[in-house]
Amino acid sequence: MDEEYDVIVLGTGLTECILSGLLSVEGKKVLHMDRNDYYGGDSASLNLTQLYRKFRPDQSAPAELGRDRDYAVDLIPKFIIASGELTRILVHTDVTRYLEFKQIAGSFVYRDGKISKVPSTEMEAVKSPLMGLFEKRRAKKFFEFLQGWKDDDPATHQGVDLDKDSMKSVYEKFGLEPGTQDFIGHAMALYLDDDYKTKPARTTYERIVLYTSSMARYGKSPYIYPLYGLGELPQAFARLSAIYGGTYMLDKSIDEIVTDADGKFVGVRSGNETVKAKQVVGDPSYFGAGKPAEGKARVKEEGKVIRAICFLKHPIPGTEDADSVQIIIPQNQVNRRNDIYIAKVSSTHNVCAKDVYVAIVSTIVETDNPEQEIVPGLQLLGPIYDKFVSVSTLYTPTTSGQDDQIFVTRSYDATSHFETVVEDVHNVWKQMIGKELVLKKREVEVEA
């Protein structure tokens, strides 16, 4: 290990693997290490053995669940929103060739004690019990307004200034009921709380457009999902990095981030070897997260998320037996500040044995009894065969890394898709390279 690298990447979570892939394509000499013997870090998908080792080290998986290798259980519940930025990166880097995607079959929202499908077609919208007849007309006007919006054509603005007027005032203009506002803000714009209402309407507008264009892309739901689980995504980007010369070392203990007298990055020590590089980037767990601060604190806490991975032997009741769904419980509906999410996948996506369903219930923690907070979500699942609960602290870097060339990515948040992950990639890239990340289409390899 006496070679010198441009960049050392620590941790093989999705954020780090996308960065590693893009850095290698850019021509950087990359060394990518992980303390675990598997890919994916916090965004890995685990087989049964790995899952039990993590949550119940003194117990082995019941034989009843079937073959170990049929399982790829996501640790972080997220889906890919079809028209989003992750899709764009997947296509531009050509990483799609290593992956196969399927749709998520449906998107549901909780309202007044029961769940209803988020309409995916006009027909469904007309029939949906989510709104009364008059409210449907008002909502139709609202969506027509959004659809018709052109920045450079004031005639389409109906007196609204997206950059100045709050979303609340836009809702009021169209006379939308609070229940409809919940539906639009939470089930479509995918906000986790209600803070957006007092902010300019532009971002909400963009999020609704993202949702509807994603929905229009494949039908059914706005989401797609990789066969064999989300853990395939970091592996695919790691492969991209390797193809462009990146060196991979798993199962490596990372013992020290070595700096010079001024605190600037020098290298990474593993055992008694130190590998040198110009820059280092990694997930918060490599930079002191969760440990008592020794020396400079490079990360700080930013809330907690509770996630309960549940094995079911049946589809979630009331979802038309869908093989995969997202269910959103808007905060107002259960007197919370943050929404509760349920993400369910199944053997259709090659992530578990036949007739098993994996549902993850998650939310941002608001009290000191987080398990109690997700009960409204758990109650929708019907009988739960087994449940693995974890509470994770979210970390965010304290510095940009410009001074010491030590760059830290953010923990995976509670949002339902990967858009904030890609945002983080863009931010870290800009700090590391000093330029915006521009996606160039990869040259297609010659086929014989």
Partner 1 sequence: MSKQLQFKLVLLGESAVGKSSLVLRFVKDQFDDYRESTIGAAFLTQTVTLDDQTTVKFEIWDTAGQERYKSLAPMYYRNANCAVVVYDITQAASLEKARSWIRELQRQADPSIVIALCGNKADLAARRQVSEEEAKKYAEEEGLMWAETSAKSGEGVHEIFTAIAKKLPTTTSPSARGGARTGAAARTGVDLNKQAANAPGQNEPCNC
Binding residues for partner 1 (CB under 8 A): 39, 69, 82-85, 87-88, 90-91, 96-98, 100-103, 163, 202-203, 206, 209-210, 213, 217-218, 224, 227-228, 232, 235-236, 238-239, 242-245, 247-251, 350, 443, 445-448
Q: Which is nearer to ligand FAD, 69 or 435 (CB)?
A: 69
Output the smallest distance, CB 240 to partner 1, in A. 9
Output the smallest distance, CB 129 to ligand FAD, in A. 40
Output the smallest distance, CB 99 to ligand FAD, in A. 14
Residue 218 binds: one of partner 1, ligand FAD, none (C-beta under 5 to 8 A by kind): partner 1
Alpha carbon distance 223, 80 (integer Å): 5
Contact 230, 45 (CB under 8 A): yes
Contact 94, 22 (CB under 8 A): no
Max Cα-Cα span within the chain: 72
Output the smallest distance, CB 32 to ligand FAD, in A. 20
The letter for the amino acid at 245 is G
Q: Which is nearer to ligand FAD, 66 or 303 (CB)?
A: 66
Alpha carbon distance 244, 250 (integer Å): 18
Contact 212, 82 (CB under 8 A): no
Q: Which is nearer to ligand FAD, 45 or 221 (CB)?
A: 45
Q: Is 291 exposed, middle or buried (0-12, 13-18, 19+ CB in 10 A)?
A: exposed
Contact 87, 239 (CB under 8 A): no
Q: Which is nearer to ligand FAD, 72 or 187 (CB)?
A: 72
Contact 54, 23 (CB under 8 A): no
Q: Which is nearer to partner 1, 5 or 395 (CB)?
A: 5
Output the smallest distance, CB 228 to ligand FAD, in A. 8
Residues at the contact surface with ligand FAD, assessed by CB under 6 A: 47, 69
Residue 97 binds: one of ligand FAD, partner 1, none (C-beta under 5 to 8 A by kind): partner 1
Residue 282 binds: one of ligand FAD, partner 1, none (C-beta under 5 to 8 A by kind): none
Output the smallest distance, CB 359 to ligand FAD, in A. 22
Q: Which is nearer to partner 1, 88 or 337 (CB)?
A: 88
Q: Which is nearer to partner 1, 96 or 166 (CB)?
A: 96
Output the smallest distance, CB 68 to ligand FAD, in A. 6
The letter for the amino acid at 377 is G
Q: Is 366 exposed, middle or buried (0-12, 13-18, 19+ CB in 10 A)?
A: middle
Alpha carbon distance 4, 8 (integer Å): 10
Q: Which is nearer to partner 1, 126 or 249 (CB)?
A: 249
Output the smallest distance, CB 201 to partner 1, in A. 10
User: Dihedral (C-alpha) 203, 208, 209, 211: value to the nearest 10 degrees?
Assistant: 130
Contact 225, 219 (CB under 8 A): no
Residue 4 binds: one of partner 1, ligand FAD, none (C-beta under 5 to 8 A by kind): none
DSSP symbol at 290: T
Token code pair at residue 420: 């904030």
Bridge-based pairing of strands 45-46 and 73-74 is antiparallel
The letter for the amino acid at 251 is D
Question: Residue 241 in 3-state DSSP?
Answer: helix
Token code pair at residue 85: 């930025």
Q: Which is nearer to ligand FAD, 37 or 262 (CB)?
A: 37
Residue 324 binds: one of ligand FAD, partner 1, none (C-beta under 5 to 8 A by kind): none
Residue 125 binds: one of ligand FAD, partner 1, none (C-beta under 5 to 8 A by kind): none
Residue 160 binds: one of ligand FAD, partner 1, none (C-beta under 5 to 8 A by kind): none
Alpha carbon distance 436, 281 (integer Å): 17
- Neighbour tally for 407: CB within 10 Å: 25
Q: Which is nearer to ligand FAD, 47 or 332 (CB)?
A: 47
Q: Is 215 exposed, middle or buried (0-12, 13-18, 19+ CB in 10 A)?
A: buried
